[in-house]
A and B are shown apart, each in its own frame.
Chain A
Amino acid sequence: MNHYELLIVADDKQVVLERILQVARYRGFLISGINAQVNTGNNIGTIKLSVRSDRSIDLLVDQINKLIDIKSVKVDNNGVMPVCA
């Protein structure tokens, strides 16, 4: 199982966080940590998401990127860190 850190920037819209969590679970990624903040000045949310999976992180990045309120998704750790399952 591989561990990934995602940095997601999103419009601060209704249920955007639920959408991200739902997509991560459905696409086969376990969530090991989350940190989300909103800049109330520009209504932009920043979400740091730690996930684990045997699947390629590209699958999740592409699916999160498809969500309407998402501005960008980046893999923060430039690759893969093996951790205990």
Chain B
Amino acid sequence: MANEQTLTGGSLLFQVLQQHGVQHVFGYPGGAIMPIYDALYDSDVEHFLCRHEQGAAFSAVGYARASGKVGVCLATSGPGATNLITGLADALADSIPVVAITGQVATAAMGSDAFQEVDIFGLSLACTKHSFQVTDINELEKVLHKAFAIALEGRQGPVLVDIPKDIQLAQVNGVMGDFSSLKNKVKLPPANVGSAIALLSQAKKPVLYVGGGVGMANAIDELRAFIDITGLPSVSTLKGLGAIDPDHCSYLGMLGMHGTKAANIAVQECDLLVAVGARFDDRVTGKLNEFAPNAKVIHFDIDTAEINKRRKVDAAILGDLKVNLPALAIPLSIEKWREECQQMKKDFAWRYDHPHETIFAPAVLKELSDKMPHNTVVTTDVGQHQMWSAQHMQFDDPSNFLTSGGMGTMGFGLPAAIGAQVSRPTDCVITVSGDGSFMMNVQELSTIKRFQLPVKIVLIDNAKLGMVRQWQDLFFNGRLSETDLSDNPDFVMLATAFDIKAKQITKKCEVSAAIEEMLTHDGAYLLQVKIDAQDNVWPLVPPETANDKMMEST
């Protein structure tokens, strides 16, 4: 039922947010968004003041990824808006539904190089799924509904709505009527179900390659049933982790640059690759024309543009995975291949018998994974600790492992953990960070303090930009250019300054007790884990190399 009432543009915004079930937003006020913040004052929507707009954007991303809802962030014009851009680019690369609201200078001042004016609408073209600039108050309600619909429709993504200050202040009769979601404009071609079933039936060595699209499509149950029925050996991308049951006998682990040896060899040897919600990213394929060289390809996706983008497919299954996966779930006679894969999994299992006295990060993360409560959300930053987390921690749902995949954004972990904790207040939230990444959004410790969020921080500290240092050692003749961080602050003292309990450990014998202390602590906690600066992430597929030619620990 329509319910017409006179509102300002700012009040209308919060009414529409509430219509879409938004309870929490992340943001930072400023001159050109003051009427919206004034309307917030009377709204039931809860606002989380971050200490940088990039933190607000990543918190919205973390909120969306952990909850499956749209994440919302607010920023003022000019620098406030440009500070959102990295978060929006991250959301675009990983297909995360976010609605970003930016204040803009008044319409009369637009285009005059006014104070804090930037063309965020123009800047948004390359880092959002879609964007709007509202120059007529009568369009605002419709635009806001569309923003939510577009963020969630088809392949999800971020949408920006730029609202000039006079539009925020203008009076409007908000209709507050029913809203309907968009119809998918792109007509999907009929799925090649017949060809795909023929390919599956004929394959002797098929492999299932699972990406982030499975979680986004909420098709985890359908995927797991598909694996049970077909018995396909399966591998996962970074963003797909958690979709496949990590304890399932067919699961071979992550593939790609830092994938498991079993996963990469199985994919290289397979004669049929069944890609589900995955996009043949370069970190997955290694040298593209040597990736799965003998395989035919079946590709399930929601996005037509991903079909044949990097790899020609033999059968495309476009559309909803919840419908399409069951349509192809047929039992396969591939017992010999299954046994071969399971033998590889056994032969190439991770080893934790680290001979040195220093703390071995993979073992710490394995122990943390074993001890953390069920349904814990883990976020990471980007670098060595991220790859060790992906390799050595286990997740039973993609919404429990939030990591910046496509964009690889350092500074993601801490604000994403804040968003995750806000969306799931009763679940344990842990961010695994590195000493380089942590400093990129360290100001968000203040957000943790302000809202008393019990986020746990595991800081893997090698006083280096570890992944870049590893590459400099391996591929740039050990010329360690600008990767030394030995002048890092005292992280324990830093956390303490934000009233966050903190501890540093340097020896293996301290690990178990420290993990237990952190997990049982009632409140935020920072555990600084000092590791050897020379530790590398293994295996590693060098750039432009086939995935079976991986470098391994000596």
Contacts and interface: CB of A to CB of B under 8 A. Distances in A.
Interface of A: 14-15, 18-19, 22, 26, 56, 58-59, 62-63, 65-68, 70-71
Contacts of B307: 62
Contact of B309 (A14, A15, A59, A65): A59
Contacts of B309: 59, 62
A18 B305 contact: no
A63 B303 CA distance: 10
B133 A62 contact: no
A26 B186 CA distance: 21
Contacts of A59: 305, 309
Interface string B295-318: 000000001110111000000000
Given A62-B305, A66-B303, A68-B150, A18 B122 contact: yes
Q: Is the interface of B mostly helix, strand, loop or mixed?
A: mixed
A19 B125 contact: yes
B130 A68 contact: yes
A62 B125 contact: no
B132 A22 contact: no
11 contacts: A18-B122, A18-B125, A59-B305, A62-B307, A62-B309, A65-B186, A66-B186, A66-B304, A68-B129, A68-B185, A71-B185
A67 B303 CA distance: 12
Contacts of B304: 62, 65-66
A15 B122 contact: yes
A78 B81 CA distance: 43
Nearest to B304: A62
A22 B150 contact: no
B126 interface: yes
A19 B130 CA distance: 9
Contacts of A22: 125-126
B126 A26 contact: yes
Contacts of A15: 121-122, 125
Given A26-B126, A68-B130, A14 B305 contact: no
Contacts of A68: 129-130, 150, 185
Interface in B116-174: 121-122, 125-126, 129-130, 132-133, 150
Given A14-B132, A14-B133, A65 B305 contact: yes
Interface string B178-215: 00000001100000000000000000000000000000
Given A65-B305, A66-B303, A70-B185, 5 more contacts: A14-B121, A15-B125, A26-B126, A68-B129, A68-B130
Contacts of A62: 304-305, 307, 309
Contacts of B121: 14-15
Going nearest first, the 6 A-B pairs with the smallest beta carbon separation are A62-B305, A68-B130, A22-B125, A63-B305, A62-B304, A66-B305
Nearest to A60: B305
Interface string B89-131: 0000000000000000000000000000000011001100110
A70 B187 CA distance: 13
Contacts of B125: 15, 18-19, 22
B126 A58 contact: no
Nearest to B307: A62
Nearest to B146: A68
B130 A58 contact: no
A11 to B, nearest CB: 10
Nearest to B308: A58
Interface in B191-242: none
